[in-house]
Protein backbone atom coordinates (compact mmCIF):
# COMPACT_ATOMS: atom_id res chain seq x y z
CA UNK A 1 0.00 0.00 0.00
CA UNK A 2 1.37 3.42 -0.99
CA UNK A 3 1.69 5.75 1.98
CA UNK A 4 1.53 9.50 1.63
CA UNK A 5 2.36 11.98 4.37
CA UNK A 6 1.81 15.72 4.14
CA UNK A 7 3.72 18.05 6.46
CA UNK A 8 1.51 21.09 7.15
CA UNK A 9 -2.23 20.78 7.78
CA UNK A 10 -3.15 24.20 6.42
CA UNK A 11 -5.33 25.61 3.66
CA UNK A 12 -3.37 23.71 1.02
CA UNK A 13 -2.32 20.51 2.78
CA UNK A 14 -5.67 19.74 4.43
CA UNK A 15 -8.04 19.94 1.43
CA UNK A 16 -5.51 18.51 -1.06
CA UNK A 17 -4.82 15.43 1.03
CA UNK A 18 -8.52 14.93 1.80
CA UNK A 19 -9.27 14.81 -1.93
CA UNK A 20 -6.34 12.45 -2.63
CA UNK A 21 -7.68 10.14 0.11
CA UNK A 22 -11.18 10.29 -1.36
CA UNK A 23 -10.08 9.57 -4.91
CA UNK A 24 -7.47 6.93 -4.04
CA UNK A 25 -9.02 4.56 -1.48
CA UNK A 26 -6.04 2.21 -1.63
CA UNK A 27 -3.57 4.94 -0.65
CA UNK A 28 -3.09 5.77 3.03
CA UNK A 29 -2.81 9.50 3.64
CA UNK A 30 -1.53 11.11 6.85
CA UNK A 31 -1.58 14.87 7.37
CA UNK A 32 0.77 16.03 10.11
CA UNK A 33 1.41 19.37 11.76
CA UNK A 34 3.43 20.76 14.66
CA UNK A 35 0.33 22.63 15.80
CA UNK A 36 -1.54 20.31 18.16
CA UNK A 37 -4.71 22.49 18.27
CA UNK A 38 -4.84 22.49 14.47
CA UNK A 39 -4.64 18.69 14.33
CA UNK A 40 -7.30 18.38 17.06
CA UNK A 41 -9.57 20.61 15.00
CA UNK A 42 -9.05 18.43 11.91
CA UNK A 43 -10.08 15.46 14.03
CA UNK A 44 -13.18 17.24 15.38
CA UNK A 45 -16.57 18.21 13.96
CA UNK A 46 -15.40 21.80 13.47
CA UNK A 47 -12.60 21.77 10.93
CA UNK A 48 -9.96 24.51 11.28
CA UNK A 49 -10.79 26.00 7.88
CA UNK A 50 -14.09 26.83 6.23
CA UNK A 51 -14.28 25.52 2.69
CA UNK A 52 -17.52 24.50 0.93
CA UNK A 53 -17.68 20.71 0.46
CA UNK A 54 -14.64 19.98 2.63
CA UNK A 55 -16.61 18.59 5.60
CA UNK A 56 -18.21 15.89 3.47
CA UNK A 57 -14.91 14.78 1.94
CA UNK A 58 -13.17 14.62 5.32
CA UNK A 59 -16.07 12.75 6.95
CA UNK A 60 -16.04 10.13 4.19
CA UNK A 61 -12.33 9.29 4.57
CA UNK A 62 -11.22 10.23 8.09
CA UNK A 63 -10.30 7.16 10.10
CA UNK A 64 -10.32 4.99 6.95
CA UNK A 65 -7.44 6.10 4.77
CA UNK A 66 -7.10 9.72 5.95
CA UNK A 67 -5.47 10.52 9.29
CA UNK A 68 -4.55 13.78 11.00
CA UNK A 69 -1.73 13.55 13.51
CA UNK A 70 0.85 15.59 15.39
CA UNK A 71 3.24 12.66 15.42
CA UNK A 72 5.15 14.18 12.53
CA UNK A 73 8.22 11.95 12.64
CA UNK A 74 6.37 8.63 12.75
CA UNK A 75 4.27 9.36 9.67
CA UNK A 76 7.14 10.89 7.72
CA UNK A 77 9.37 7.89 8.39
CA UNK A 78 6.67 5.47 7.17
CA UNK A 79 5.74 7.40 4.00
CA UNK A 80 6.74 6.69 0.40
CA UNK A 81 5.76 10.18 -0.75
CA UNK A 82 6.15 13.21 1.54
CA UNK A 83 4.39 16.44 0.57
CA UNK A 84 5.70 19.58 2.24
CA UNK A 85 3.17 22.35 2.65
CA UNK A 86 4.55 24.53 5.42
CA UNK A 87 4.59 28.31 5.85
CA UNK A 88 6.92 30.34 3.63
CA UNK A 89 6.62 33.88 5.03
CA UNK A 90 8.19 36.95 3.45
CA UNK A 91 11.43 37.81 5.26
CA UNK A 92 11.15 40.81 7.56
CA UNK A 93 14.83 41.04 8.44
CA UNK A 94 18.21 40.54 6.82
CA UNK A 95 18.99 39.85 3.19
CA UNK A 96 15.92 40.28 0.97
CA UNK A 97 13.76 41.70 3.80
CA UNK A 98 10.27 42.63 2.58
CA UNK A 99 10.62 40.51 -0.56
CA UNK A 100 12.44 37.20 -0.32
CA UNK A 101 10.80 34.08 1.07
CA UNK A 102 11.88 32.91 4.49
CA UNK A 103 12.53 29.20 4.12
CA UNK A 104 13.11 28.48 7.81
CA UNK A 105 10.14 26.15 8.13
CA UNK A 106 10.90 24.39 4.87
CA UNK A 107 14.51 23.85 5.87
CA UNK A 108 13.57 22.45 9.26
CA UNK A 109 11.05 20.12 7.62
CA UNK A 110 13.72 18.92 5.16
CA UNK A 111 16.23 18.28 7.95
CA UNK A 112 13.62 16.36 9.89
CA UNK A 113 12.79 14.22 6.83
CA UNK A 114 16.48 13.38 6.43
CA UNK A 115 16.78 12.56 10.14
CA UNK A 116 13.88 10.17 10.44
CA UNK A 117 13.96 8.44 7.04
CA UNK A 118 14.95 4.80 6.86
CA UNK A 119 13.70 4.15 3.31
CA UNK A 120 13.78 5.98 -0.04
CA UNK A 121 11.29 8.77 -0.45
CA UNK A 122 9.84 11.17 -2.96
CA UNK A 123 9.70 14.65 -1.42
CA UNK A 124 7.17 16.96 -3.03
CA UNK A 125 7.23 20.77 -2.77
CA UNK A 126 3.66 21.89 -2.32
CA UNK A 127 4.12 25.32 -0.74
CA UNK A 128 4.92 28.06 -3.22
CA UNK A 129 8.64 28.60 -3.03
CA UNK A 130 11.21 30.61 -4.98
CA UNK A 131 12.73 29.08 -8.05
CA UNK A 132 15.68 26.84 -7.14
CA UNK A 133 14.34 25.95 -3.69
CA UNK A 134 14.09 22.34 -4.79
CA UNK A 135 17.81 22.38 -5.46
CA UNK A 136 18.53 23.70 -1.96
CA UNK A 137 16.26 21.12 -0.39
CA UNK A 138 17.88 18.40 -2.46
CA UNK A 139 21.26 19.45 -1.06
CA UNK A 140 20.02 19.29 2.52
CA UNK A 141 18.54 15.86 1.95
CA UNK A 142 21.45 14.34 0.07
CA UNK A 143 24.07 15.68 2.49
CA UNK A 144 22.19 14.07 5.37
CA UNK A 145 20.86 11.03 3.58
CA UNK A 146 22.83 8.15 5.16
CA UNK A 147 22.66 6.43 1.78
CA UNK A 148 18.90 6.86 1.35
CA UNK A 149 17.65 7.99 -2.03
CA UNK A 150 15.52 11.15 -2.10
CA UNK A 151 13.84 12.43 -5.25
CA UNK A 152 12.55 16.01 -5.17
CA UNK A 153 9.47 17.03 -7.12
CA UNK A 154 7.73 20.37 -7.44
CA UNK A 155 3.96 20.02 -7.56
CA UNK A 156 2.54 23.52 -7.05
CA UNK A 157 -1.04 23.91 -5.95
CA UNK A 158 -3.42 26.04 -8.00
CA UNK A 159 -6.55 25.74 -5.86
CA UNK A 160 -8.35 28.94 -4.95
CA UNK A 161 -9.99 29.27 -1.56
CA UNK A 162 -13.74 29.06 -1.47
CA UNK A 163 -13.68 26.71 -4.49
CA UNK A 164 -10.82 24.48 -3.29
CA UNK A 165 -12.74 21.20 -3.43
CA UNK A 166 -14.13 21.89 -6.89
CA UNK A 167 -10.67 23.00 -8.09
CA UNK A 168 -9.15 19.79 -6.72
CA UNK A 169 -11.86 17.58 -8.25
CA UNK A 170 -11.53 19.18 -11.67
CA UNK A 171 -8.21 20.99 -11.95
CA UNK A 172 -7.39 22.96 -15.11
CA UNK A 173 -4.03 21.22 -14.87
CA UNK A 174 -1.76 19.40 -12.45
CA UNK A 175 1.87 20.39 -12.75
CA UNK A 176 4.69 18.05 -11.77
CA UNK A 177 8.31 19.11 -12.10
CA UNK A 178 11.24 16.79 -11.54
CA UNK A 179 14.81 15.99 -12.46
CA UNK A 180 15.45 14.89 -16.03
CA UNK A 181 17.30 11.76 -14.85
CA UNK A 182 15.82 8.21 -14.98
CA UNK A 183 15.23 8.35 -11.18
CA UNK A 184 13.61 11.78 -11.51
CA UNK A 185 11.32 10.53 -14.28
CA UNK A 186 10.37 7.51 -12.19
CA UNK A 187 9.40 9.77 -9.30
CA UNK A 188 7.32 11.96 -11.66
CA UNK A 189 5.51 8.86 -12.85
CA UNK A 190 4.77 7.73 -9.28
CA UNK A 191 3.12 11.07 -8.46
CA UNK A 192 1.37 11.19 -11.83
CA UNK A 193 -0.16 7.79 -11.04
CA UNK A 194 -1.70 9.25 -7.88
CA UNK A 195 -3.41 12.11 -9.76
CA UNK A 196 -4.33 9.84 -12.66
CA UNK A 197 -6.95 8.26 -10.36
CA UNK A 198 -9.22 11.18 -11.27
CA UNK A 199 -7.41 13.72 -13.45
CA UNK A 200 -7.32 13.08 -17.25
CA UNK A 201 -3.77 12.44 -18.44
CA UNK A 202 -3.79 15.39 -20.84
CA UNK A 203 -4.22 17.71 -17.86
CA UNK A 204 -1.17 16.41 -16.05
CA UNK A 205 1.79 18.46 -17.22
CA UNK A 206 5.29 17.19 -16.51
CA UNK A 207 8.21 19.63 -16.67
CA UNK A 208 11.64 20.14 -15.22
CA UNK A 209 11.91 21.36 -11.62
CA UNK A 210 12.61 25.01 -12.37
CA UNK A 211 9.75 25.38 -14.87
CA UNK A 212 7.29 23.99 -12.32
CA UNK A 213 8.48 26.31 -9.57
CA UNK A 214 8.46 29.37 -11.83
CA UNK A 215 5.09 28.51 -13.41
CA UNK A 216 3.38 28.84 -10.05
CA UNK A 217 4.86 32.29 -9.42
CA UNK A 218 4.07 33.30 -13.01
CA UNK A 219 0.44 32.10 -12.85
CA UNK A 220 -0.24 34.06 -9.67
CA UNK A 221 1.54 37.13 -11.03
CA UNK A 222 -0.55 37.03 -14.23
CA UNK A 223 -3.78 36.69 -12.25
CA UNK A 224 -2.91 39.53 -9.89
CA UNK A 225 -1.86 41.64 -12.85
CA UNK A 226 -5.32 41.28 -14.39
CA UNK A 227 -6.90 42.61 -11.21
CA UNK A 228 -4.48 45.52 -10.97
CA UNK A 229 -5.15 46.28 -14.63
CA UNK A 230 -8.91 46.46 -14.15
CA UNK A 231 -8.48 48.36 -10.88
CA UNK A 232 -6.26 50.89 -12.63
CA UNK A 233 -9.06 51.27 -15.21
CA UNK A 234 -11.59 51.74 -12.39
CA UNK A 235 -9.84 54.94 -11.30
CA UNK A 236 -9.95 56.22 -14.85
CA UNK A 237 -13.63 55.23 -15.16
CA UNK A 238 -14.50 57.30 -12.10
CA UNK A 239 -12.65 60.27 -13.56
CA UNK A 240 -14.31 60.02 -16.98
CA UNK A 241 -17.83 58.75 -16.27
CA UNK A 242 -17.27 55.34 -17.80
CA UNK A 243 -18.54 52.25 -15.98
CA UNK A 244 -15.84 49.68 -15.20
CA UNK A 245 -18.28 46.74 -15.36
CA UNK A 246 -19.24 47.74 -18.90
CA UNK A 247 -15.58 48.20 -19.84
CA UNK A 248 -14.50 44.82 -18.45
CA UNK A 249 -17.48 43.11 -20.07
CA UNK A 250 -16.53 44.59 -23.44
CA UNK A 251 -12.84 43.82 -22.99
CA UNK A 252 -13.51 40.26 -21.73
CA UNK A 253 -15.58 39.43 -24.82
CA UNK A 254 -12.34 39.33 -26.78
CA UNK A 255 -11.64 35.60 -26.71
CA UNK A 256 -7.93 36.31 -26.46
CA UNK A 257 -8.53 38.11 -23.16
CA UNK A 258 -11.51 36.16 -21.75
CA UNK A 259 -14.11 37.24 -19.21
CA UNK A 260 -12.77 35.81 -15.94
CA UNK A 261 -10.90 37.66 -13.21
CA UNK A 262 -11.84 41.12 -14.44
CA UNK A 263 -13.91 42.32 -11.48
CA UNK A 264 -12.75 45.67 -10.15
CA UNK A 265 -12.48 45.62 -6.37
CA UNK A 266 -11.03 47.38 -3.36
CA UNK A 267 -7.92 45.28 -4.05
CA UNK A 268 -6.77 41.69 -4.14
CA UNK A 269 -5.83 39.83 -0.96
CA UNK A 270 -5.06 36.27 0.03
CA UNK A 271 -1.93 34.50 1.10
CA UNK A 272 -0.46 34.09 -2.37
CA UNK A 273 -0.62 37.02 -4.76
CA UNK A 274 1.44 39.63 -2.94
CA UNK A 275 3.89 37.14 -1.49
CA UNK A 276 4.49 35.42 -4.80
CA UNK A 277 4.98 38.67 -6.69
CA UNK A 278 7.42 39.96 -4.05
CA UNK A 279 9.27 36.70 -4.48
CA UNK A 280 9.29 37.09 -8.24
CA UNK A 281 10.57 40.65 -7.89
CA UNK A 282 13.38 39.48 -5.63
CA UNK A 283 14.38 36.70 -8.00
CA UNK A 284 14.46 39.16 -10.90
CA UNK A 285 16.61 41.58 -8.93
CA UNK A 286 19.00 38.80 -7.91
CA UNK A 287 19.31 37.80 -11.55
CA UNK A 288 20.20 41.34 -12.67
CA UNK A 289 16.81 42.10 -14.22
CA UNK A 290 15.68 45.37 -12.54
CA UNK A 291 13.31 46.32 -15.41
CA UNK A 292 11.45 43.03 -15.10
CA UNK A 293 11.38 43.41 -11.30
CA UNK A 294 9.92 46.93 -11.58
CA UNK A 295 7.27 45.76 -14.03
CA UNK A 296 5.90 43.23 -11.51
CA UNK A 297 6.37 45.57 -8.54
CA UNK A 298 3.88 47.91 -10.16
CA UNK A 299 1.12 45.28 -9.80
CA UNK A 300 1.46 45.54 -6.02
CA UNK A 301 1.75 49.33 -6.10
CA UNK A 302 -1.56 49.62 -7.97
CA UNK A 303 -3.16 47.26 -5.46
CA UNK A 304 -1.97 49.43 -2.57
CA UNK A 305 -3.11 52.55 -4.44
CA UNK A 306 -6.59 51.07 -4.83
CA UNK A 307 -6.95 50.51 -1.08
CA UNK A 308 -5.68 54.00 -0.26
CA UNK A 309 -7.98 55.51 -2.88
CA UNK A 310 -10.96 53.73 -1.28
CA UNK A 311 -10.13 55.09 2.20
CA UNK A 312 -9.64 58.58 0.78
CA UNK A 313 -13.04 58.41 -0.93
CA UNK A 314 -14.67 57.55 2.39
CA UNK A 315 -12.94 60.28 4.38
CA UNK A 316 -13.32 63.00 1.75
CA UNK A 317 -17.03 62.34 1.19
CA UNK A 318 -17.74 62.44 4.91
CA UNK A 319 -16.66 66.08 5.21
CA UNK A 320 -12.97 65.17 5.36
CA UNK A 321 -13.18 63.50 8.73
CA UNK A 322 -14.42 60.23 10.14
CA UNK A 323 -13.17 60.98 13.64
CA UNK A 324 -15.57 59.53 16.22
CA UNK A 325 -18.02 58.40 13.51
CA UNK A 326 -19.34 54.87 13.50
CA UNK A 327 -18.52 53.10 10.24
CA UNK A 328 -19.89 49.64 9.52
CA UNK A 329 -17.51 47.21 7.87
CA UNK A 330 -19.38 44.44 6.07
CA UNK A 331 -17.02 41.60 5.28
CA UNK A 332 -13.47 41.08 6.49
CA UNK A 333 -12.35 37.89 4.70
CA UNK A 334 -10.23 38.41 1.58
CA UNK A 335 -13.05 37.00 -0.58
CA UNK A 336 -16.41 35.31 -0.08
CA UNK A 337 -16.87 31.69 1.01
CA UNK A 338 -13.74 31.63 3.13
CA UNK A 339 -12.93 32.66 6.69
CA UNK A 340 -9.36 33.43 5.63
CA UNK A 341 -8.13 36.96 6.31
CA UNK A 342 -4.54 36.68 5.18
CA UNK A 343 -3.57 39.93 3.36
CA UNK A 344 -7.25 40.86 3.11
CA UNK A 345 -7.74 44.41 1.80
CA UNK A 346 -10.02 44.91 4.83
CA UNK A 347 -6.94 45.15 7.05
CA UNK A 348 -5.50 48.13 5.19
CA UNK A 349 -8.88 49.83 4.78
CA UNK A 350 -9.69 49.42 8.49
CA UNK A 351 -6.23 50.60 9.51
CA UNK A 352 -6.64 53.65 7.26
CA UNK A 353 -10.00 54.51 8.86
CA UNK A 354 -8.67 53.87 12.36
CA UNK A 355 -5.81 56.22 11.53
CA UNK A 356 -8.46 58.89 11.00
CA UNK A 357 -10.03 57.93 14.35
CA UNK A 358 -13.17 56.22 13.06
CA UNK A 359 -15.17 53.85 15.29
CA UNK A 360 -15.49 50.56 13.41
CA UNK A 361 -18.26 48.01 13.78
CA UNK A 362 -17.25 44.92 11.84
CA UNK A 363 -19.34 41.98 10.68
CA UNK A 364 -18.17 38.97 8.70
CA UNK A 365 -20.12 35.70 8.67
CA UNK A 366 -16.97 33.56 8.93
CA UNK A 367 -14.30 35.56 10.74
CA UNK A 368 -14.00 35.55 14.53
CA UNK A 369 -13.51 38.61 16.72
CA UNK A 370 -10.18 37.26 17.94
CA UNK A 371 -8.92 36.94 14.36
CA UNK A 372 -10.02 40.47 13.45
CA UNK A 373 -8.41 41.99 16.54
CA UNK A 374 -5.25 40.04 15.86
CA UNK A 375 -5.13 41.10 12.20
CA UNK A 376 -5.58 44.76 13.05
CA UNK A 377 -2.78 44.75 15.58
CA UNK A 378 -0.29 42.51 13.76
CA UNK A 379 2.76 43.75 11.87
CA UNK A 380 3.05 43.20 8.12
CA UNK A 381 3.97 39.57 7.25
CA UNK A 382 3.60 38.31 10.88
CA UNK A 383 0.54 36.33 9.80
CA UNK A 384 2.55 33.86 7.80
CA UNK A 385 4.12 31.92 10.65
CA UNK A 386 2.80 28.81 12.42
CA UNK A 387 0.12 29.96 14.87
CA UNK A 388 2.13 29.21 17.99
CA UNK A 389 4.89 31.54 16.75
CA UNK A 390 2.58 34.44 15.94
CA UNK A 391 2.33 37.40 18.34
CA UNK A 392 0.17 36.47 21.32
CA UNK A 393 -3.36 37.72 21.84
CA UNK A 394 -3.55 41.44 21.26
CA UNK A 395 -5.18 43.81 23.67
CA UNK A 396 -8.46 44.50 21.90
CA UNK A 397 -8.77 47.89 20.27
CA UNK A 398 -11.30 50.26 21.76
CA UNK A 399 -12.17 51.75 18.40
CA UNK A 400 -13.16 48.34 17.02
CA UNK A 401 -16.21 46.26 17.84
CA UNK A 402 -17.06 42.99 16.14
CA UNK A 403 -20.73 42.06 15.86
CA UNK A 404 -22.58 39.03 14.53
CA UNK A 405 -25.15 40.67 12.30
CA UNK A 406 -25.12 43.25 9.48
CA UNK A 407 -28.04 45.12 11.07
CA UNK A 408 -26.21 45.53 14.39
CA UNK A 409 -23.09 46.69 12.54
CA UNK A 410 -24.97 49.37 10.60
CA UNK A 411 -27.23 50.68 13.40
CA UNK A 412 -26.50 54.38 14.02
CA UNK A 413 -23.57 54.24 11.59
CA UNK A 414 -22.67 57.15 9.31
CA UNK A 415 -21.38 54.92 6.57
CA UNK A 416 -21.16 51.30 5.37
CA UNK A 417 -18.13 49.81 3.66
CA UNK A 418 -18.63 46.53 1.82
CA UNK A 419 -15.25 44.83 1.71
CA UNK A 420 -16.14 41.18 0.95
CA UNK A 421 -18.68 40.07 -1.67
CA UNK A 422 -20.68 37.73 0.62
CA UNK A 423 -23.98 36.85 -1.08
CA UNK A 424 -25.97 37.83 2.00
CA UNK A 425 -24.93 41.47 1.56
CA UNK A 426 -26.81 41.57 -1.76
CA UNK A 427 -30.16 40.78 -0.15
CA UNK A 428 -30.05 42.87 3.03
CA UNK A 429 -33.07 45.05 3.81
CA UNK A 430 -31.35 48.30 2.89
CA UNK A 431 -34.47 50.38 3.63
CA UNK A 432 -34.43 49.12 7.21
CA UNK A 433 -30.69 49.75 7.41
CA UNK A 434 -31.12 53.29 6.05
CA UNK A 435 -33.85 54.07 8.57
CA UNK A 436 -31.52 53.13 11.43
CA UNK A 437 -28.49 55.09 10.23
CA UNK A 438 -27.24 58.68 10.76
CA UNK A 439 -27.94 61.01 7.82
CA UNK A 440 -26.55 61.59 5.32
CA UNK A 441 -26.08 57.82 5.08
CA UNK A 442 -23.24 56.51 2.89
CA UNK A 443 -22.53 53.18 1.22
CA UNK A 444 -19.01 52.53 -0.09
CA UNK A 445 -19.17 49.35 -2.13
CA UNK A 446 -15.68 47.89 -2.55
CA UNK A 447 -16.99 44.85 -4.41
CA UNK A 448 -19.67 46.27 -6.70
CA UNK A 449 -22.44 44.05 -5.38
CA UNK A 450 -25.23 46.46 -4.44
CA UNK A 451 -27.95 47.80 -6.70
CA UNK A 452 -26.75 51.40 -6.85
CA UNK A 453 -29.95 52.85 -8.36
CA UNK A 454 -32.12 51.19 -5.72
CA UNK A 455 -29.94 52.40 -2.87
CA UNK A 456 -29.89 55.95 -4.22
CA UNK A 457 -33.68 55.83 -4.44
CA UNK A 458 -33.80 54.90 -0.73
CA UNK A 459 -31.65 57.95 -0.01
CA UNK A 460 -28.12 56.59 0.34
CA UNK A 461 -25.12 58.38 -1.08
CA UNK A 462 -23.39 55.54 -2.92
CA UNK A 463 -19.81 55.07 -4.03
CA UNK A 464 -19.15 52.00 -6.17
CA UNK A 465 -15.66 51.23 -7.44
CA UNK A 466 -15.21 52.38 -11.04
CA UNK A 467 -18.84 53.48 -11.51
CA UNK A 468 -20.11 56.93 -12.53
CA UNK A 469 -19.82 59.08 -9.42
CA UNK A 470 -22.66 60.24 -7.21
CA UNK A 471 -23.15 64.03 -7.51
CA UNK A 472 -22.06 64.26 -3.87
CA UNK A 473 -18.64 62.78 -4.60
CA UNK A 474 -17.88 64.67 -7.77
CA UNK A 475 -16.36 67.67 -6.05
CA UNK A 476 -14.46 65.56 -3.56
CA UNK A 477 -11.56 63.95 -5.38
CA UNK A 478 -9.99 60.99 -3.62
CA UNK A 479 -6.42 61.98 -4.28
CA UNK A 480 -4.23 62.41 -1.25
Q: Which is nearer to ligand UDX, 265 or 373 (CB)?
A: 265
272 annotated as ligand-binding: yes
Q: Which does 160 bind (CB under 5 to 8 A by kind): ligand UDX, ligand ADP, none?
A: ligand UDX
Is 446 one of the binding residues for ligand ADP (CB under 6 A)? no
* Cα diameter, the chain: 75
Is 220 one of the binding residues for ligand ADP (CB under 6 A)? no
Q: Which is nearer to ligand ADP, 130 or 352 (CB)?
A: 130
264 annotated as ligand-binding: no
420 annotated as ligand-binding: no
**From the list 28, 65, 87, 312, which residue makes contact with ligand ADP (rule: CB under 6 A)?**
87
Answer whether 329's CB lies under 8 Å from 310's CB: no
Q: Which does 102 bind (CB under 5 to 8 A by kind): ligand UDX, ligand ADP, none?
A: none
Q: Which residue among 6, 24, 61, 272 is the active-site one?
A: 272
**From the list 127, 366, 410, 420, which residue makes contact with ligand ADP (rule: CB under 6 A)?**
127
162 annotated as ligand-binding: no
Is 110 one of the binding residues for ligand ADP (CB under 6 A)? no
352 annotated as ligand-binding: no
Distance of CA 2 to the CA centre of its chain: 31
Q: Which does 127 bind (CB under 5 to 8 A by kind): ligand ADP, ligand UDX, none?
A: ligand ADP
350 is catalytic: no
**From the list 86, 141, 328, 419, which residue makes contact with ligand ADP (rule: CB under 6 A)?**
86
Q: Which residue is nearest to ligand ADP (CB)?
A: 10
Q: How far apart are CA 480 and CA 315, in angstroms?
A: 11
Residue ranges of the annotated binding site for NAD(+) are 8-13, 33, 38, 86-90, 127-128, 161, 272-275, 342
Contact residues for ligand ADP, defined by CB under 6 A: 7-13, 33-35, 38, 72, 85-87, 105, 108-109, 127, 271, 386
Amino acid sequence: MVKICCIGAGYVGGPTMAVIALKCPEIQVAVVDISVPRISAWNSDTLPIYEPGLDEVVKKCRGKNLFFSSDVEKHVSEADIVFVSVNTPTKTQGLGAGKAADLTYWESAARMIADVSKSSKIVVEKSTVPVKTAEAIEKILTHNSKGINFQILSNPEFLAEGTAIQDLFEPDRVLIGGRETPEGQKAIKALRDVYAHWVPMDRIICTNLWSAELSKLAANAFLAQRISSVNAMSALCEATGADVSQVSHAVGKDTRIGPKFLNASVGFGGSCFQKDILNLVYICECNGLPEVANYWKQVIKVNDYQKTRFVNRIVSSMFNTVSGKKIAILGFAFKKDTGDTRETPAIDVCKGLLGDKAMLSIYDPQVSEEQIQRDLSMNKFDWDHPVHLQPTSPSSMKQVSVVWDAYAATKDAHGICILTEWDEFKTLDYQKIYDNMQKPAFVFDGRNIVDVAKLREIGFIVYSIGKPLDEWLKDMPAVA
